[in-house]
Structures are given as C-alpha cells and as structure tokens.
Structure 1
Amino acid sequence: MTATRDAQVSTPAAALSELISGNKRFVYGHPRYGHDVAQAAATAQGQKPHSLVFGCIDSRVPLEAIFDQSFGSICVARSGAHVLDRSLIGSINFAVTELGVALILVVGHKRCGAVHATVQALRDGATPGSDSGSVGYLVDQLAPAVHEVGLDDEDAAEKAIRKHVGRTAERLRENPDLAGEIAAGRVRVVGAVYDLDSGWVEFLD
C-alpha cells in the first residue's frame, strides 16, 4: 500500500490551514492522533506528507504533537535554534522535490536557549568567528538576528528569536533549488513562533 495525501491538503494554503487547526486541537486538549502502532503500520509502505516543519532541538517543542499530526503527515527537521546548514537545506529540498510537500514551516520558540546564549556571548565580547567550535557556529549564525535587534535592547533575545525565524524563512525562499516551486505557487515558506507556556503557535506571515 502506498500512502496518499488527503486531496484537501494538496496546496500551500491547505497545508497551512491543517497545521493551524492541529495546533488549535493541541491547545484545547482535543488531539485527533494518538501515535499508536496501527497508525505507523498504515503508512509503512509509503508517504505523502503535506508539510516540512523545521524547528529547534528543544525537548519542550515536539513538533508532531504541537501540530497534532499523525504518521506520514509532516516531515520534521531540527537543529539548535533552527540554524540552517548544508545538510538541512538538502533535506528540505528533498522533501519538496521528492516527497512533494507544499509548505515549509520554520518554527522558533520563546526562551530559546541558543539565542539567549548568543546574546550573552555577544554582550561579553564574543564576535562571530571567534569560536571555531561547533557551538561557535551557532553563535555565528544567530549573531546577525541579534545585531539587527540591538544588544542594548533588554528584550533582545526574544526579539531576536522572531528575527531569526524571518531570516531563516527568507534564506529558504531565496534558495535556487526552491525558487521555481515557490514562484509557481506550489510551495510556500512560512515562519512561526511557539509559546512554551500556552502551547499556541503564532504564524508570522
């Protein structure tokens, strides 16, 4: 059996609507999907996801749960503070070209540890490129969003989270491997921020 995507979830608008509805079910305590083995078996022979959701590695942000999506519905990619690298861009491109996802959703979240650590590092005098380690790479990638907000802003970290979501989404929109699909209206890139306290996802576009 080959998994097929619901005909009603075949466009960027329909995919976004499904994620918005799923987040509402999650917040109101009425999830539709329980993630049992029967659901896993039903999609074992194939998949046709409607969206790729790219988020942070934070354990408090389980993406399938906060959007109440079942097996085969969404692809998930994660990294610290949803920082892009070559592997992640390739994975996202694969989801679009090979799996036919209609939506790429970039999800940041409030109180992101990586962003707060970047703000502190920059306030302490660290500069992009000054730390050659792997964590330093995250600082390098997050620093532009922090500087765009300004280190003197007392709410710099939370504002930078939103800026970084927007910058990540824009970087994906400008990716030459995605540009054609986006221009044709077959794929849309949207940013969002998850509230750890309420469970709500705020869609930024």
Structure 2
Amino acid sequence: MAAALDAGADMVGLMFFPKSPRHVSLSQACRLADMARGRAEIVAVTVNMDLDGLSRINELVKPDTFQFHGEEAPEALAAAKVMQGTKVMKAISISDRSDLEQAHYYAVVADRLLFDAKPPKGSELPGGNGVSYDWTILKDLDLKKPFMLSGGLDPENVAEAIRLSGVSEVDVSSGVEREKGVKDSGLIRAFLAAAKGVKVPG
C-alpha cells in the first residue's frame, strides 16, 4: 500500500473475497484505509456480497467506492449505491467485442466500469488471474461513464495497452506481484511510472 501511495496511485483496492490470496480482514482493511485516506480513492472490492456485508464494510472501512466483481445485476448496484451512499463500480469480464453489450446496462447505474479478462476455466477467482484479451476492442467505446482497463497488465505492457485501447485508467493486481498475493514495491513503482508516462489522445 505504501509503495502505491508514494508512487502516485489514484485508487487503491481492498479485496473482500475469502477465496482470493489478496483477501483482507476488516481490521486489516481499516488500517490500510486509514493509510490511504486523503491520498487516494479507497475501493472495496466485493464478489456477490449481500447488503449486510456491504453495510459492515461501509460502516467500518468507509470506502469511497464499492467495486462489484461478481454476477451482480444492475439492480443490485443501484440498491447498494442508495443504501451505502457511496460510488459504485462494476467489473465486467470480457474476451471479445460481443461481451461489451452488457456494459450499457451497467453504465446506467455505475459510476465507473472496469473491463477485466474472463477467468480461465476452473478458476475460482473472477479477477486477478493475469489473463489478457484484445485491448483494441475498447477503442472508441462510448459509455458516457469512465471505464478502466484490467487483465494481464504489468510494467512491461501497460503503456502498449493504454495506446491500443485508448483507455486512460488502468487497474493492476497480479502484474505487480513477486508471488501470488504478495505485492512487489519495485514492480508497483515501475507500473505506475509506465502508465503515467503515456499520453492518451482525447
């Protein structure tokens, strides 16, 4: 967390999904959120969590945004947005252009969308698998809402991904880890330097 903040990350994610190697407890999340507050947007990442669970996170951690990374319907995002009083982001798993259709339904209620690669067959994780897709399918996509590029990004390819997709916001997890679930401060700094060094036409 400290490396990301010091390198200028605009958002930091806290993972609330027990099957993930990046899962944090509520007490850990509170400490990390206090470290980040006022320096970066705090994003609570959840997977098919019920409203009681969201409320508990909101009460204790006080995130700026909830990211929904499961099979949540647009109506679930709308309900959470009203009940929690936070911004909401929806992660959408894609592999080709046809998968982008669902984005228009979520864009009605979400404050931001995130396009991640579809997980490999048999994976229990909806994201953070280090899998990529054809970034060019996001080129010139107009949703009237901000959206982010995720999936298989690392310090070596993030600049190319930004240029090919035209997307100025990127998300990374496994691409800055020295082993699964363990972040590497050097890779974090390299990733942010590469991402922030790209000029996106607009």
TM-score (norm 1): 0.29
Larger relative contact order (CA 8 Å, sep ≥ 6): 1
More helix by share: 1
Bigger Cα Rg = 1
